[in-house]
Amino acid sequence: MIRKCCLLILTALLIAVFIHCGKDSSSPAGPGKADPSLASDIQPMFTGTCALSGCHSGAGQAGLLLSQGQSYSNLVNVTSTQVPALKRVKPSKIDSSYVVNKLDGTSPLVGVKMPKNGTLSAANIQLIKNWISKGAKNN
């Protein structure tokens, strides 16, 4: 009897998990968002962490201004000045995007890991990768 009861409870839990997994659980914002927006998800990170005095505002490092209204045109499909073989952001191509290499610090070609004077969590870096993989839309 106890074995049958445990089996029923386990079955009910598995059914609940499968039902939940089938639902669209994307939230309007946050690191887990599968299809992030530049305006509401990505730009706030650029503004708070990258577009700071001495970094990517004003004169900008390597001509890369990440201030609101300028970040998209300075990133997407723009050739990197440090590694001309890469675009700063290549829509739908995380591995071909210079910015990802800078954030991950995975390539010796790109120099210092960014952000230099701040931090981005792994979840926020993943959010940027999600934005790029979904086409780096100007939305």
What tens-digit pLDDT sequence spans the chain (139 residues)? 554 433 334 333 333 323 333 333 333 344 468 899 999 999 999 999 988 877 888 776 777 889 999 999 999 999 999 999 999 999 999 999 999 999 998 788 888 889 887 789 999 999 999 999 999 999 9
Helix ranges (H only) for the chain are: 2-22, 43-45, 71-75, 98-104, 122-133
Distance CA 139, CA 66 (A): 15
Q: How many residues does the chain have?
A: 139
> Residue 2 has what pLDDT?
55
Predicted TM-score of the model (pTM): 0.74
Residue 29 CB: number of other CB atoms within 10 A? 13
Domain range list for the chain: 65-139
Is residue 74 packed enough to be buried (19+ CB in 10 Å), middle (13-18) or exposed (0-12)? middle
